[in-house]
Amino acid sequence: MADLFSLAGRRALITGSTQGIGFALARGLAEAGAEIALNGRDTAKLETAARQLESEGATVHRLPFDVTDHAAARAAVDGFEAGIGPIDILVNNAGMQHRTPLEDFPEAAFDQLMQTNIASVFHVGQAVARHMIGRGAGKIINIASVQSALARPGIAPYTMTKGAVANLTKGMATDWARHGLNCNAIAPGYFETPLNAALLSDPDFCAWLQRRTPAGRWGKVEELVGACVFLASGASSFVNGHVLYVDGGITASL
């Protein structure tokens, strides 16, 4: 049973992995035995994150590229495959948030959300999948959101992007499952992350969330690791196109 969930001998690329959910997932995959390729645009933050994981015994590679740049993503992935070795697991985690009422939402912020939250999943996913297809195996895990299924005021474009991530995941599975790839998504609920700093500091929102969520609390990023290891391992060999909600029950209740 332990072997079923082991990632020993695998390499995992996690985009946007210098902090928050991405860093927690990188740490969790490393603890399950995988070599880790950290990604981020801020090289100082990337180095700090890499050194932290290395101090814990992980084998870490630095892969600084802009996930919104198709050519840069392709070059980084191709270079890594040629110089280091296969990427067996991809976690498309890079994302951003912008909170503004829809009628006032800035065009520039809308475009940035599209590129960061949707286009990056296509850019990096395609670059990695081309190598996985040739090997007949691979695991792609996209980070969706509770907003893939639900909406709240002030974040309509973000909600749109996460709905698109969920459907792109299904499209990846439909195209690539026959080549031996498993393409799934994790949809977190409300977690204590830098992306949610404004909400964490709002007592009214925290009180609402505790009432709205059956578990009665915020999630902790470490609670996403089990789902990620499952989808990255042999334990999920016949799971494809699935969106796994890790949300304390918020999507299960009214």
| Structure token pair of residue 10 | 């695998």
Cβ–Cβ under 8 Å, residues 88 and 137: yes
| Structure token pair of residue 68 | 């919104």
Cβ–Cβ under 8 Å, residues 232 and 8: no
Choosing from 23, 105, 122, 158, which is the catalytic residue?
A: 158
Whether 190 is a known active-site residue: answer no
How many Å apart are CA 22 and CA 39, to the nearest integer?
9
Q: From 148, 161, 146, select the one nearest 212 (Cα to Cα).
A: 146
Sign of dihedral through CA atoms 114, 163, 172, 2? positive
Q: From 193, 178, 168, select the one nearest 21 (Cα to Cα).
A: 193
Contacts of 33 (CB under 8 A, 6+ apart): 6, 7, 8, 9, 10
How many Å apart are CA 8 and CA 2, to the nearest integer?
11
DSSP conformation letters of 206-222: HHHHHHHSTT-S-B-GG
| Structure token pair of residue 20 | 């928050």
The residues with which 38 forms a beta bridge, in sequence order, are 14, 62
Catalytic residue numbers?
158
